[in-house]
A and B are shown apart, each in its own frame.
Chain A
Amino acid sequence: MTRGKSRAMQANKPAKLQQKEYQAIAQRKKMKPPVLRNVVVAWVVGGLICVLGQAINQFFISRGFSSEDAGSPTVAVLILISSILTGLGVYDVLGQFAGAGSAVPVTGFANSVVSAALEFKREGLVLGVGAKMFSLAGPVIVYGTITAFIVGVIRALLR
């Protein structure tokens, strides 16, 4: 009886050790993403999306928009492109590859809106698409607005 118990405990010990080792390895893997690779890819992809934006911007300027007025149609075109690519499932593949390179440009903002709308489509047009569209992009709008309000009030008081 005691022998059986001690044998069971002995058998148990290595299993626990293995589990600990496994957790340690898993932790190490989790703690060390390939940072250099990720940063280079984010820079290149993000940079190229901005170059595309610059090209669209130049196009609108060549069509007679002032350099300031060209900003709005440029953003709209980028959002249109991103919406279509998200609908086709292409932008999410790009996102897995490029990380922040595809998340930080305005195309990433559009991607978060479209993918949320698509994901919750089955919950209906009002409670799904309508209510959940900004479930990912919402914080950006809320805190951007709060920041603009605070900056605006400070500048108004300092005037």
Chain B
Amino acid sequence: MGSYLTAFLVGGFICAVAQLLFDLTPLTPAHVLTLFVIIGGILSGLGLYEPLVKFAGAGATVPITSFGHQLVQGALREMETHGLIGVLAGIFDLSSAGITAAIIFGFFASLIFNPKG
């Protein structure tokens, strides 16, 4: 599941590509991040993202492209057992921890802290 070196190289590379799009295209960061999730999902659907996870470990699972991968894999796994309805039921299966953690920690952080500036 990847080494520290491959995590650094692949994870850094994905961020560097995003930075190029920030700097050299009129796309806003929100557009680029949305695009990356879609690309991650498409690569996952083509069976190309899982090998990247095997090679780069956290270098592939930490960038936002991994969110698209999790959504697609969640949908596909449920689809295997329950067919078309499984797509609806399974989409958030694997990404649940990320979304839930963001809501819970985000909520409590907003209670504890005050906006800066």
Q: How far, in angstroms, from A57 to B9 measured CA to CA in the complex?
A: 17
Find out whether the CB atom of A103 lies under 8 angstroms from the CB atom of B58: no
Q: How far, in angstroms, from A119 to B106 measured CA to CA in the complex?
A: 12
Given A51-B7, A139-B30, A152-B91, are A129 and B74 also a contact pair (CB < 8 Å)? no
Given A79-B98, A140-B34, A154-B45, are A145 and B29 also a contact pair (CB < 8 Å)? no
Question: What number of B residues sit within 8 Å (CB to CB) of A?
Answer: 79
Query: By DSSP majority rule, is chain B's interface helix, strand, loop, or mixed?
Result: helix
Given A109-B64, A147-B42, are A156 and B84 also a contact pair (CB < 8 Å)? yes
User: Is B52's beta carbon under 8 Å from chain A?
Assistant: no
Find out whether the CB atom of A140 lies under 8 angstroms from the CB atom of B33: yes
**Closest residue of chain A to B54, judged by CB?**
A67
User: Is A148's beta carbon under 8 Å from chain B?
Assistant: yes
- A69-87 vs B, CB cutoff 8 Å, 1 = contact: the mask equals 0011111101110011011
Find out whether the CB atom of A113 lies under 8 angstroms from the CB atom of B15: no
Given A43-B13, A129-B110, are A50 and B63 also a contact pair (CB < 8 Å)? yes
Contacts of A42 in B (CB 8 A): 12, 15-16, 18-19
Known: A53-B61, A152-B86, A152-B91. 20 other contacts (CB 8 A): A39-B19, A41-B19, A42-B18, A47-B7, A47-B9, A47-B13, A49-B62, A50-B62, A51-B11, A54-B7, A54-B57, A54-B58, A75-B62, A100-B15, A104-B33, A136-B30, A140-B34, A147-B71, A149-B87, A151-B42
Binding site for A on B (CB under 8 A): 1-4, 7-16, 18-24, 29-30, 32-34, 36-38, 40-42, 44-45, 56-59, 61-64, 66-68, 71-72, 74-76, 79, 83-84, 86-88, 90-91, 94-99, 101-103, 105-110, 112-117
The 10 closest A-B pairs by CB, nearest first: A46-B15, A50-B11, A47-B12, A87-B113, A152-B87, A53-B58, A72-B97, A147-B41, A151-B45, A152-B75
